[in-house]
């Protein structure tokens, strides 16, 4: 007889074995088998995984829910994830996130930068090259529009009334058959609508597969041109009409243009020279070089590396996150980077507001308004105009013609004032330096203000200036990987 104090213990409830693990292994095995047999494209499979890997988590969760409901109906315990399941889950999440970030990276640009063509780097696949030619009548009075998502565009002058397009195409694929198919699906298209002729490289015809089409286009010189690229350089040489270029991740070169030039840049560099009309550059640019412009120049955006200007015949306006600048004419050159601004032979009125830059202005004629902080200011005047210079945390040095006539009102808080002109009345105390008075017959007023820095007013003959060697702005370098501080 069994005592009620010691009831008979029944067998422990059975545990339901999970079929999720074996099912996952079967699916992974089938996928890899199809890949090794050539039935699946590894690149396409990777793209699918990078975009849709969370679906695997959803499917896994549904399977575990089915197991739980089945175990509940049978009155047994449902199998948990276990250490192996948790490890596999974490592995899927980590590799999924890595694949997503990798899919957003510009592998084509990296391949181009390291010149990984052909079979040098099997990770990128093999590169197959194709050539093509297209020719079409160019209607008189029409403008040209070029669209090339991936590839360089080189626009030159044709010797007839035709448009000539030479295509140099690179297709990355694992097999020749795939490359041939994607090449056939990305033939350049020419369409005419009204007074506009459009050339479309149609690199999107291959979907997500990497296809690069470099276009060499020649059209009559009088035609205006609008060019849009996402990954590729743009070169335009010799054009009477206006030029409008939108460029992402490329270098733009424009020269010998009689019309207006408008550039919209996104992580691109630009070199513009010999333009008979206005030049406008907007967006986010790296290196910018502008030379020999007969019209006005307008720069508005973020410039992460350097800006070089030379020989600008009409007014210049510049605006970025850190710097605002306007002047009437530039006979010399200007060089601006993240920490320095140097200008030679500039005509006012000049207005300059910036911060954290050392500024050197030589050969300035006319009025000058300058504001800076955390940097030194040095100004060499050729023809005296009214002047206002305001600085913080940096010295001010002004060099004026020996026989110039002007009036001075200067204050240096927590600094001193020194001058080569004996006519000025100077007072330096522990807290402030002041200078006032007239030189010669009076004339333009110089208002100089500084905090935590000195003010020096010199005669131009006291310093032997070393003239800057004349030079043309250099061509912009290829965009570097790290981003520099904006100008």
Residue 486 has pLDDT above 50, yes or no: yes
Tens-digit pLDDT profile for residues 56-96: 778 777 877 777 777 777 766 666 666 666 777 787 788 77
pLDDT for residue 104: 66
Q: How many CA atoms lie within 13 A of 182 on its CB side?
A: 25
pLDDT for residue 77: 66
The whole-number average pLDDT for the span 307-321 is 96
pLDDT for residue 49: 73
The structure tokens listed for 121 are 């780097």
Smallest CA-to-CA distance from 389 within 444, 427, 446 is with: 446
Tens-digit pLDDT profile for residues 357-391: 999 999 999 999 999 999 999 999 999 999 999 99
pLDDT for residue 474: 47
Give the separation between CA 189 and CA 195, rounded to whole angstroms. Answer: 17
**Of the listed ranges 1-15, 137-151, 306-320, the one predicted with least confidence:** 1-15
The whole-number average pLDDT for the span 255-259 is 97
SS3 398: strand
pLDDT for residue 179: 87
Write the CB contacts of 217 (distance below 8 Å, at least 6 apart in sequence).
144, 146, 153, 154, 155, 156, 163, 164, 165, 166, 199
Residues 432, 414 contacting (CB under 8 angstroms): yes
Residue 8 has pLDDT above 60, yes or no: no
Smallest CA-to-CA distance from 229 within 209, 208, 207, 244 is with: 244
Using the CB atoms, write b or e for 167-180: b if 16+ within 10 Å: bbbbbbbeeeebbe
pLDDT for residue 182: 87
pLDDT for residue 65: 79
Burial of 352 (0-12, 13-18, 19+ CB in 10 A): buried
Burial of 356 (0-12, 13-18, 19+ CB in 10 A): middle
Ranges assigned E (strand) in 74-224: 77-78, 126-137, 143-150, 153-157, 162-173, 189-193, 196-200, 211-219
Give the separation between CA 288 and CA 269, rounded to whole angstroms. Answer: 6
Q: Among residues of the chain, what percentage have pLDDT more than 70?
A: 79
Give the separation between CA 408 and CA 417, rounded to whole angstroms. Answer: 12
pLDDT for residue 222: 94
* 69 or 4, greater pLDDT: 69
Give the separation between CA 138 and CA 26, rounded to whole angstroms. Answer: 60
The structure tokens listed for 333 are 């050159």
Residue 435 has pLDDT above 60, yes or no: yes
Give the separation between CA 291 and CA 487, rounded to whole angstroms. Answer: 19
pLDDT for residue 41: 62
Tens-digit pLDDT profile for residues 81-139: 666 667 777 877 887 788 777 766 655 555 545 444 444 444 456 889 999 999 999 99
- Domain boundaries defined on the chain: 17-104, 332-478
The whole-number average pLDDT for the span 469-483 is 44
Q: Among residues of the chain, what percentage have pLDDT more than 90?
A: 59
Residue 285 has pLDDT above 80, yes or no: yes
Tens-digit pLDDT profile for residues 151-199: 999 999 999 999 999 999 998 887 888 889 888 888 889 999 999 999 9
pLDDT for residue 256: 97
The structure tokens listed for 448 are 């100089």
Residue 416 has pLDDT above 60, yes or no: yes
Give me the torsion for CA of 252, 254, 259, 261, rounded to 10°. Answer: 30
Residue with tokens 């690069």: 212
* 245 or 484, greater pLDDT: 245
Tens-digit pLDDT profile for residues 15-57: 555 656 666 667 777 777 776 766 666 666 676 777 777 877 7
Using the CB atoms, write b or e for 98-116: b if 16+ within 10 Å: ebeeeeeeeebbebbeeeb
The structure tokens listed for 244 are 């409008």
Q: How confident is the model at residue 265 (pLDDT cuts 50, 70, 90)?
A: very high
Residue 204 has pLDDT above 90, yes or no: no
Q: How many CA atoms lie within 13 A of 466 on its CB side?
A: 1
**Stated length of the chain:** 487
> Considering the entire predicted model, what is its pTM?
0.72
Residue 484 has pLDDT above 50, yes or no: no
Q: How confident is the model at residue 210 (pLDDT cuts 50, 70, 90)?
A: confident
């Amino acid at each position: 007889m069994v005592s009620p104090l010691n009831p008979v213990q029944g067998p422990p409830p059975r545990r339901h074995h999970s079929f999720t693990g074996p099912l996952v292994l079967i699916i992974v095995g089938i996928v890899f088998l199809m890949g090794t047999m050539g039935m699946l494209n590894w690149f396409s499979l990777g793209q699918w995984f990078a975009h849709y890997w969370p679906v695997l988590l959803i499917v896994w969760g549904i399977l575990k829910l089915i197991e739980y409901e089945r175990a509940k109906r049978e009155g047994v315990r449902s199998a948990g994830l276990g250490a192996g399941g948790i490890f596999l889950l974490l592995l899927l999440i980590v590799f999924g996130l890595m694949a997503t970030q990798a899919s957003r990276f510009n592998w084509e640009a990296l391949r181009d930068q390291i010149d990984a063509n052909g079979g040098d780097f099997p990770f990128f696949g093999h590169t197959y090259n194709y050539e093509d030619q297209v020719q079409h009548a160019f209607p008189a009075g029409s403008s040209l529009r070029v669209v090339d998502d991936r590839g360089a565009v080189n626009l030159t002058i044709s010797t007839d009334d035709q448009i000539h397009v030479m295509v140099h195409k690179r297709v990355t694929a694992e097999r020749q058959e795939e490359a041939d198919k994607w090449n056939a699906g990305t033939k350049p298209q020419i369409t005419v609508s009204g007074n506009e002729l459009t050339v479309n490289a149609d690199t999107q015809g291959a979907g997500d597969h990497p296809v690069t089409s470099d276009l060499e286009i020649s059209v009559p010189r009088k035609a205006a041109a609008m060019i849009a690229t996402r990954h590729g350089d743009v070169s335009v040489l010799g054009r009477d009409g206006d030029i409008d270029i939108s460029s992402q991740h490329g270098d733009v070169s424009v020269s010998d243009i009689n019309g207006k030039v408008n550039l919209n840049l996104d992580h691109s560099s630009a070199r513009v020279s010999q333009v008979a009309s206005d030049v406008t550059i907007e967006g986010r640019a790296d290196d910018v070089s502008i030379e020999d412009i007969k019209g006005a120049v307008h720069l508005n955006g973020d410039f992460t590396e350097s800006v070089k200007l030379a020989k600008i015949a009409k007014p210049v306006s510049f605006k970025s996150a850190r710097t605002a600048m306007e002047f009437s004419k530039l006979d010399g050159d200007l060089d601006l980077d993240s920490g320095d601004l140097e200008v030679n032979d500039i005509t006012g009125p000049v207005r300059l507001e910036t911060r954290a830059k050392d500024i050197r202005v030589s050969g300035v004629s006319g009025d000058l308004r300058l504001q800076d902080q955390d940097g030194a200011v040095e100004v060499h005047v050729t023809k005296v105009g009214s002047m206002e210079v305001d600085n913080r945390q940096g010295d001010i040095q002004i060099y004026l013609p020996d026989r110039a006539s002007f009036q001075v009102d200067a204050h240096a808080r927590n600094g001193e004032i020194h001058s080569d002109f004996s006519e000025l009345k100077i007072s330096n105390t522990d807290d402030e330096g002041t200078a006032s008075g007239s030189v010669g017959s009076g004339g333009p007023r110089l208002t100089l203000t500084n905090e935590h820095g000195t003010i020096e007013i010199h005669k131009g003959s006291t310093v032997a200036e070393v003239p800057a060697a004349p030079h043309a702005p250099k061509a912009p370098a290829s965009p570097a990987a790290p981003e520099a501080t904006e100008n």
